């Protein structure tokens, strides 16, 4: 649609409009009230999820999350509960402020940890991994040609 008034009419009738653009990501337009209702609902679901977890449930959640995030299987079993607890805390905080960048960062960091445990040059339990208390800047690795 090239006419903004038409877009607004469709938005009012349907509650949302997806604008597809050439050479760019599609945009989703929704009414603010609908967006806030979605976030509020997610918040309640997150709170319910958090309240329902005990230690046994953490193991089951990690097992089920491994379907959606298969790299979890590369983490030692002892880290599953730590991942779930951290994921849950950050997800709840992100829902509360309606911003999910921190959750994406958390997932990327845990996936990188799983990749480290997957390295065949390391022990399976990761006992030879060294965790840094202070981040260090390193140069980007270069592959041999």
User: What does the mean pLDDT of the chain come to?
Assistant: 81
Compute the radius of gyration of the chain from its Cα atoms: 21
On whether residue 59 sits in a domain, the answer given is: yes
Q: Higher-confidence residue: 62 or 74?
A: 74
Specify whether the CB–CB gap between 29 and 17 falls below 8 A.
yes
On whether residue 4 sits in a domain, the answer given is: no
With b meaning 16 or more CB within 10 Å and e meaning fewer, what string describes 122-139?
Answer: eeeebeeeeeeeeeeeee
The predicted-structure confidence for 63-100, as pLDDT tens digits, reads as follows 788 888 999 988 888 888 888 889 888 888 887 787 88
With b meaning 16 or more CB within 10 Å and e meaning fewer, what string describes 13-28?
Answer: eeeebeeeeeeeeeee
Q: Which residues contact 110 (CB under 8 A, 6 or more apart)?
A: 71, 72, 75, 83, 86, 87
On whether residue 15 sits in a domain, the answer given is: no
On whether residue 73 sits in a domain, the answer given is: yes
Neighbouring C-beta atoms of residue 71, cutoff 10 Å: 16
**Count of domains for the chain:** 1
**Quick one: DSSP state of residue 140?**
P
Q: How far is Cα 97 from Cα 101, in angstroms, rounded to an integer?
A: 11
Banded pLDDT at 107 (limits 50, 70, 90) = very high
On whether residue 138 sits in a domain, the answer given is: no
- What are the DSSP calls for 25-58, one per residue? EEEEEE-HHHHHHHHHHHHHHHHHHHHT--HHHH
The predicted-structure confidence for 12-42, as pLDDT tens digits, reads as follows 777 787 778 888 888 887 777 777 787 778 7
Question: In terms of residue numbers, what domain contains 76?
Answer: 36-118
């Amino acid at each position: 649609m090239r006419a903004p008034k038409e877009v607004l009419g469709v938005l009012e009738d349907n509650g949302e409009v997806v604008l597809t653009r050439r050479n760019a990501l599609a945009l989703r337009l929704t009414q603010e009230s609908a967006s806030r209702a979605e976030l509020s609902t997610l918040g309640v679901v997150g709170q319910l999820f958090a309240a329902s977890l005990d230690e046994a449930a953490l193991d089951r959640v990690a097992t089920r999350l491994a379907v959606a995030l298969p790299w979890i299987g590369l983490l030692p079993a002892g880290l599953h509960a730590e991942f779930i607890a951290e994921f849950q805390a950050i997800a709840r905080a992100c829902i509360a402020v309606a911003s999910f960048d921190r959750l994406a960062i958390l997932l990327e960091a845990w996936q990188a940890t799983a990749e480290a445990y997957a390295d065949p040059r390391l022990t399976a339990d990761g006992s030879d991994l060294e965790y840094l208390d202070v981040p260090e800047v390193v140069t980007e690795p270069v592959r041999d040609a």
